[in-house]
């Protein structure tokens, strides 16, 4: 009779439990982030580049990675050496602000910042500069969370806000680090840009096919490359009822519909000719659709509103991708806009509901 | 599952509870020490004297408990079967007035409840619809269809009366696999309802069939055991001294259904039933039940379940006050249909009576929101928040 005892003890732990489940759901994408960072790094460098003396190179050399005939061990070490410092930085900065905010508002620290830090890390390239990480994470905690009163009270996903700020603030940040190759700066994978310029053959020339994009061995923001890993996390969240299936379904159906519309309009080239499955596989749409758009607090809270918001996200993503070749990924701005719209959508839905009720009452 | 096949549990004391009749100011018709037969009027409503309350059992009035501002808490009766049961004359004809005064005199009227607010309807009130709840979707509750089938004569007689106390349609809400042999007449409309726990609550049915809006109308509803009790009066001319309840919960050694007298004392019902160790007694189901208030250790009116859980109750649980709502599909599943849970919960947390009313609060009472309180992580008790809002609305009328 587990349900009965949970009635009595559930409340104190319920919120912590939700954060824990989200972290578990992010485990597959985190693993892919590590493996794929290693893979991308090792396939982009020649053996000498390991000799650089920045923190990450020191770390991976210290752990004994080598670029001569790299194996699985080297891949993991290199991946960890890129993923972990960013995550640590994000956690330290997030924890610092959480501590200050908790002290000022005289409450205990909430575990939400761990989730924010992980989501934020997964939406960054492996070569992100630490100062940029600290900057984005600070603003995520303050603007995305603290000024609204803490966990669950913001109307934006803090991690999404942090990523958006980093993308906007440092548009030309890409450097000579091997993990910048194939990326359009902080905006992530340039695959859609490639498709824009050269169609499917450009993807093939860059060694991208459906399978590699599905399992995630392509360049991109660390956690967003693998649709497979995202699907695993989504399955857990859906099973536990932590994300609204309607919102997710609406985004997927919307992607299919709007990509189809642009296909039918008959453009000769550019992202308008891109079929829906490439929209799903390239860039960070899948990751954003599951882990950022479905943030229960920052999305629509009525069922019709969830459908509307989902279609809106899909429409914005496809539209920006097709119409604006300088912003190839488009997921972050689209999610941000849709999230800001969510209270307005809810307002409309509720007003409509009230009118319906008033009409059929006794 | 007729009463004869069930375990009967004898108790020595039973009671009428003041908290079961919201908004009633009781005027006593007897004193401590008086002998009363089951069905004798013992109290009436001071403001609406036609509404009478009858003794649930025969015996001697042992104690009349009053709380703050002399509010009646309980009237306790020591059971003595030698005191004769009050007989009632069946109604002479089926005119509305005759039937209503029969129900008022025999105490059956006090089992009717209104929505909005969950009060006893006024003797001259005119409902927009009457709902009979002939199902119970709580998996621990007694099976409504078996009890009704074993008392079909009484149930039928009672429905015919209920259909005639007003011009409004009577909705008989039943489980889909329970075929009740009533032809859909112009008065009685049989509506099957399937679904989870909430689909068995009158709030759900009312929301579906006669949603309450702003026009000031009300609907009435009655539970199936009270319907049978009314039928017993009509068919046999004397009150039904049985109620079927279920005992359940992790602290109950032998969960089963029991046949008991209405208003029976909980401690006597639970004697010898509980496992050792600390436990918590709930009125209602193990999942959605309400912890008993101190000093209210009797079965309430219409209560069909008594539960006992292992472990101490968590006192600090509800004192946290308003927490953050985290929307999820679970909240949608736990709320009545057509009601958006998150906006309603926010309105209730803020005490925004106007918005809560627009979102459908008038169709609901506390029991409808207990699944939401359970599914929400915010620590809020939406039942009591709803009651506060309803009281605001009621006061403004």
Domain carrying residue A152: 14-350
Does position A83 have pLDDT exceeding 90, yes or no? yes
Residue A289 lies in a domain: yes
For an interface test with A, give the residue of B311, B327, B370 to mutate (most A CBs within 10 A): B327
Lateral strand order in the sheet of B26-28: B26-28, B41-45, B52-54
Q: B326 contacts in A (CB within 8 Å)?
A: 15, 18, 152, 296-297
* Residue bearing the bigger pLDDT, A310 or A198: A310
Decide if pLDDT at A9 tops 70.
Answer: no
DSSP conformation class of B86: P
Q: For B228-269, how does the pLDDT look when each residue is reduced to its tens digit (9 = 90+)?
A: 999 999 999 889 999 999 999 888 998 999 999 999 998 888
Is the peptide bond preceding residue B116 cis, with omega within 30 degrees of 0?
Answer: yes
Q: Is residue A132 part of a domain?
A: yes
**Contacting residues for A259 by C-beta, under 8 A, at least 6 apart:** A274, A275, A276, A279, A318
Which tens digits make up the pLDDT trace of A150-194? Answer: 777 888 999 999 999 999 999 877 777 888 888 888 888 888 888
Which pLDDT does position B339 carry in this prediction?
Answer: 87
How far is the first Cα of chain A from the last one, in angstroms, to the nearest whole number? Answer: 42
What Rg, from alpha-carbon coordinates, does chain A have? Answer: 21
Indicate whether B226 pLDDT > 70.
Answer: yes
Q: Which residue of A has its CA nearest to B250?
A: A1
Q: What is the largest CA-CA distance in chain A?
A: 80
Tens digit of each residue's pLDDT (9 = 90 or more) over B16-42: 998 889 889 999 999 999 999 998 999
Within 10 A of B267 (CB to CB), how many other CB atoms are there?
Answer: 12
Higher pLDDT, A273 or A285: A285
Query: What is the predicted pLDDT for the residue at B317?
Result: 46
Average pLDDT, chain A: 87
Residues of chain B contacting residue A7, judged by C-beta atoms under 8 Å apart = 286-287, 309, 374
Query: Is A11's Cβ below 8 Å from some Cβ in B?
Result: yes
Among the listed ranges A284-298, A317-331, B68-82, which one has the minimum average pLDDT value? A317-331
Arithmetic mean of pLDDT, A41-54? 71
Mean pLDDT to the nearest integer, A42-54: 70
pLDDT at A362: 61
- Mean of the per-residue pLDDT values of chain B: 87
The kind and range of the H/E element at B305 are: strand B305-310
Domain-embedded: residue A359: no
Among A2, A14, A25, A362, which would you mutate to test the B interface (most chain B Cβ atoms within 10 Å of its Cβ)? A362
Token pair belonging to A31: 């693993």
Does B56 contact A at CB distance below 8 Å? no
Query: Phi first, then psi: what are they for B78, rounded to 5°?
Result: -80, 125
Contact B184, B166 (CB under 8 A): no
Alpha-carbon gap: B326 to the closest alpha carbon of chain A (Å): 6
Inter-chain CB proximity A303 and B360 less than 8 Å: no
Chain B CB contacts of A243 under 8 Å are: 328
How would residue A1 be classed by pLDDT, with cut points 50, 70 and 90? Answer: very low
| Chain B CB contacts of A361 below 8 Å | 211-215, 217
Q: What are the structure tokens assigned to A333, written together?
A: 């701005």
Backbone angles phi, psi at B60, to 5 degrees: -115, 135
Q: What percent of chain B has pLDDT over 90?
A: 40
Cα torsion B324, B328, B334, B335: sign: positive
Confidence of residue B320 (pLDDT cuts 50, 70, 90): very low
Res. B114: pLDDT tops 90: yes
B163-220 pLDDT, tens digit each: 989 989 999 999 988 877 676 666 888 899 988 888 899 989 988 888 887 677 899 9
Q: Which of residues 286-325 of A touch B (CB under 8 A)?
A: 296-297, 299, 301-303
Across residues A16-25, what is the average pLDDT?
A: 92
Higher pLDDT pick, A268 / B294? A268
- Decide if B377 touches A, using CB distance below 8 A: yes
> Does the pLDDT value for residue A241 go beyond 60?
yes
Place of tokens 């790094």: A41
* List of chain A residues whose C-beta atoms are within 8 Å of the C-beta of residue B380: none
Give the residue from chain A lying closest to B381, CA to CA.
Answer: A11
**In this predicted structure, what is the pLDDT of residue B296?**
63
Confidence category of residue A221, pLDDT binned at 50, 70, 90: very high
| Residue of chain A whose Cα is closest to the Cα of B288 | A7
CB contact (8 A) between residue A4 and residue B374: no
Is the residue at A355 inside a domain? no
pLDDT of the residue at B264: 92
pLDDT of residue A345: 96
Q: Summarize pLDDT for B121-146 with one digit per residue, the tens.
A: 999 999 999 999 999 988 889 989 88
Residue A221 lies in a domain: yes
pLDDT of residue A303: 93
Instruction: Name the band, by pLDDT with cuts 50, 70 and 90, for residue B67.
Output: confident
Predicted confidence (pLDDT) per residue in B324-337, tens digit: 888 888 888 888 87
Kindly report, residue by residue over A188-203, the tens digit of the pLDDT.
888 888 888 888 888 8
**3-state per-residue secondary structure call for chain A:** CHHHHHHHHHHHHHHHHHHHHHHHHCHHHHHHHHHHHHHHHHHHCCHHHHHCCCHHHHHHHHCCCCCCCCCHHHHHHHHHHHHHHHHHHHHHHHHHHHHHHHHHCCCCCCCHHHHHHHHHHHCCCCCCCHHHHHHHHHHHHHHHCHHHCCCCCCCCCHHHHHHHHHHHHCCCCCCCCHHHCCECHHHCECHHHHHHHHHHHHHHHCCCCHHHHHHCCCCCCCCCCCHHHHHHHHHHHHHCCCCCHHHHHHHHHHHHHHHHHHHHHCCCCCHHHCCHHHHHHCCCHHHHHHHHCCCCCCCCCCHHHHHHHHHHHHHHHHHHHHHCCCCCCCHHHHHHHHHHHHHHHHHHHHHHHHHHHHHHCC
Query: Would you call A11 and B317 a contact, using CB atoms and an 8 Å cutoff?
Result: yes
Model confidence at B57, pLDDT cuts 50, 70, 90, reads very high
Decide if A219 is inside a domain: yes
- Say if residue B316's pLDDT is above 80: no
Query: What's the gap in Å between the CA of B129 and the closest CA on chain A?
Result: 9
* A131 — pLDDT class (breaks 50, 70, 90): very high
Nearest to B214 among A18, A241, A358 (CB): A358
Residues in chain B: 397
Among all residues of chain B, which has the CA nearest to that of A242?
A: B328
Question: Which of B286, B287, B360 is nearest residue A357 as measured by Cβ atoms?
Answer: B360
Kindly state the average pLDDT of the residues A339-359.
91
Q: Judge whether residue B83 has pLDDT over 80.
A: yes
- What backbone torsions phi and psi does residue A27 show, to the nearest 5 degrees? -60, -50
Second CATH level (architecture) for the domain B96-236: 3-Layer(aba) Sandwich (3.40)
Q: Please give the tally of structural domains in chain A.
A: 1
> Is the CATH number of domain B11-79 3.30.750.24?
no
């Amino acid at each position: 009779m587990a349900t009965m005892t949970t009635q009595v003890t559930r409340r104190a732990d319920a919120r912590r439990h939700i954060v824990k489940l989200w972290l578990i759901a992010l485990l597959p994408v985190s693993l892919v982030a590590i493996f794929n960072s290693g893979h991308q790094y090792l396939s982009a460098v020649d053996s000498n580049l390991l000799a650089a003396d920045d923190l990450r190179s020191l770390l991976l050399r210290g752990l004994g990675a080598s670029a001569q005939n790299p194996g699985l061990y080297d891949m993991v070490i290199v991946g960890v050496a890129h993923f972990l410092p960013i995550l640590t930085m994000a956690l330290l900065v997030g924890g610092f602000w959480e501590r200050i905010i908790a002290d000022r508002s005289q409450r205990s620290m909430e575990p939400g910042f761990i989730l924010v830090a992980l989501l934020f890390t997964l939406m960054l390239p492996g070569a992100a500069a630490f100062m940029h990480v600290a900057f984005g994470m600070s603003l995520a905690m303050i603007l995305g969370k603290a000024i609204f009163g803490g966990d669950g009270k913001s109307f934006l996903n803090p991690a999404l806000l942090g990523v958006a700020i980093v993308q906007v603030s440092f548009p030309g940040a890409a450097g000579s680090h091997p993990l910048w190759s194939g990326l359009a700066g902080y905006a992530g994978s340039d695959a859609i840009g490639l498709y824009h310029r050269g169609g499917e053959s450009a993807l093939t020339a860059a060694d991208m096919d459906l399978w590699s994009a599905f399992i995630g061995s392509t360049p991109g923001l660390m956690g967003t490359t693998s649709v497979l890993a995202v699907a695993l996390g989504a399955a857990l969240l859906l099973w536990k009822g932590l994300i609204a299936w309607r919102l997710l379904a609406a985004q997927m159906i919307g992607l299919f519909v709007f990509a189809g519309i642009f296909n039918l309009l008959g453009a000769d080239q550019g992202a308008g000719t891109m079929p829906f499955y490439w929209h799903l596989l390239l860039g960070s749409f899948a990751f954003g659709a599951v882990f950022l758009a479905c943030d229960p607090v920052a999305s629509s809270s009525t069922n019709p509103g969830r459908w509307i918001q989902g279609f809106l996200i899909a429409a914005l993503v496809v539209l920006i991708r097709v119409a604006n070749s300088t912003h190839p990924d488009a997921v972050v701005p689209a999610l941000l806009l849709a999230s800001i719209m969510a209270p307005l959508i809810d307002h409309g839905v509720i007003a409509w509901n009230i009118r319906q009720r008033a009409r059929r009452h006794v | 599952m007729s009463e004869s096949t069930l375990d009967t549990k004898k108790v020595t004391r039973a009671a009428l509870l003041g908290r079961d009749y919201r908004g009633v100011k009781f005027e006593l018709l007897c004193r401590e020490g008086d002998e009363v037969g089951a069905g004798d009027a013992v109290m009436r409503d001071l403001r609406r004297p036609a509404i009478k309350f009858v003794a649930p059992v025969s015996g001697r009035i042992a104690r009349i408990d009053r709380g703050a501002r002399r509010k009646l808490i309980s009237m306790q009766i020591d059971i003595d079967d030698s005191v004769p049961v009050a007989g009632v004359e069946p109604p002479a004809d089926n005119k509305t007035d005759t039937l209503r005064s029969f129900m008022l005199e025999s105490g059956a009227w006090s089992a009717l409840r209104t929505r909005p607010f969950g009060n006893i309807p006024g003797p001259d009130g005119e409902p927009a619809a009457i709902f009979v709840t002939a199902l119970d979707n709580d998996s621990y509750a007694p099976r409504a269809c078996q009890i009704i089938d074993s008392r079909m004569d009484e149930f039928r007689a009672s429905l015919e009366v209920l259909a005639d106390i007003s011009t409004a349609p009577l909705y008989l809400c039943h489980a889909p696999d329970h075929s009740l042999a009533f032809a859909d007449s112009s008065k009685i409309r049989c509506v099957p309802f399937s679904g989870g726990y909430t689909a068995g609550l009158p709030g759900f049915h009312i929301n579906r069939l006669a949603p309450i809006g702003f026009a000031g109308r009300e609907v009435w509803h009655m539970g199936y055991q009270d319907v049978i009790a009314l039928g017993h009066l009509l068919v046999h001319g004397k009150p039904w001294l049985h109620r079927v309840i279920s005992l359940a919960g992790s602290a109950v050694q032998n969960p089963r259904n029991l046949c008991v007298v209405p208003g029976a004392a909980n401690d006597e019902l639970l004697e010898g039933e509980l496992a050792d160790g600390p436990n918590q007694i709930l009125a209602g189901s193990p999942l959605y039940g309400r912890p008993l208030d101190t000093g209210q250790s009797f079965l309430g009116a219409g209560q069909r379940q008594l539960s006992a859980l292992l472990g101490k109750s968590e006192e600090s649980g509800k004192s946290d006050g308003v927490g953050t709502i985290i929307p999820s599909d679970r909240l949608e599943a736990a709320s009545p249909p057509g009601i958006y849970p998150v906006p309603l919960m926010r309105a209730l947390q803020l005490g925004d009576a106007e918005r809560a009313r627009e979102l459908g609060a008038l169709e609901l009472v506390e029991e409808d929101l207990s699944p939401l309180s359970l599914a929400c992580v915010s620590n809020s008790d939406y039942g009591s928040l709803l009651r506060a809002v309803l009281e605001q609305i009621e006061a403004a009328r």
